[in-house]
Amino acid sequence: MPAEWMPGATRLDVGGHAPTDGGPPKAIGHITWDENTTPARPLDLVPYENLQSWFGRNPSGIPSAPHILWDPFTGRFTQFLPASSRSKSLADKAGGTRTNRAGAVVIQVEALFFPYCRVNGVVYARLVDTPCKGWPALLAWIRSWGVPDRWPMGRPTDFTSRRNEEIWEEEAGWYAHAHVPENHHQDPGSWPGFATEEAPDLDATQAKQLAELHKALVPYMGWQYKGNGKVDAWAQVGIAANQSTAAVKAISAVGSKVDGLKTAALTDAQVAMIADKVAAHPALAERIAELVADKLAARLTD
């Protein structure tokens, strides 16, 4: 039996537990969105304790408490309801799908974040730009409740709403608040990846581009999409991206770790060819960099 209360989370039970309706298990990603900001007008992040108190103790906030409040900057968690209970974080119109109950579990996560929040002098435009501390532990706990690593309506990459009640009712997985029927919110805008071995977070176009890059590199490096040990496709793509001026900014945070890995020697011509291939698809380069960072972080902590 999975744990009703997430290990390591502060427990602040708001009561009012009620069962879900059964069906495909789901998890919902929200951001607290406490302030409206712009790139020219960033604001300091609202203290975690404010939201903890709002959802856990304030009579106005308790009725909308999620299961989990997550601070992606520190890795702190507070849980307000057991996993098997519905929460009331989603709008639920009378007579339609019971949004908060539409699954064996409907685990709702509020990430402490708003676009262009400022933490220790650094401004963060997207949730995925934050350290996302604690995400592996949160993901593991939600997986234990049978929620698969997939986004039936696509991983959120912006604040576009995409809603389909048939998919919502029939398919298990992760949903953005922007995907839920009967709701009008557009959050979370982005969400960290699953970092699984098969990299499901590449869309079809990016997967095709990666395959083309793989084909181009084989004559020089002979790597495979998923290799053994610490020298595999992920490491080699990380090195290639690191040597590409188009991807330097995206992977600078992992450069020091990549430098420590054993890699194949490349000629200047080969480096230039790889750089051109990566630079031709800036969005792909950025996505690869995010996945490489996840992969390398996991390997380097083994």
Q: Same structural domain for residues 29 and 175?
A: yes
In a domain, 73, yes or no: yes
What is the full per-residue pLDDT of the chain (302 aa) written as tens digits? 899 999 999 999 999 999 999 999 999 999 999 999 999 999 999 999 999 999 999 999 999 999 999 999 999 999 999 999 999 999 999 888 999 999 999 999 999 999 999 999 999 999 999 999 999 999 999 999 999 999 999 999 999 999 999 999 999 999 999 999 999 999 999 999 996 534 445 555 555 566 566 556 555 544 333 333 333 444 444 444 444 544 444 444 445 544 554 455 667 777 777 777 766 666 666 667 666 666 665 555 55
Dihedral sign of CA atoms 24, 102, 15, 32 in order? positive
Q: Same structural domain for residues 101 and 237?
A: no
CA nearest to 33, candidates 186, 193, 153: 186
Domain of residue 227, residue span:
204-300
In a domain, 228, yes or no: yes
Q: Same structural domain for residues 166 and 62?
A: yes
Token digits of residue 96: 């339609």
Q: Same structural domain for residues 33 and 135?
A: yes
Which of the listed residues 137, 164, 179 is the one where a domain comes to its end? 179
Q: Same structural domain for residues 161 and 41?
A: yes
- Quickly list H helices, the chain: 48-57, 135-143, 165-170, 204-221, 233-242, 248-251, 255-259, 268-279, 282-300
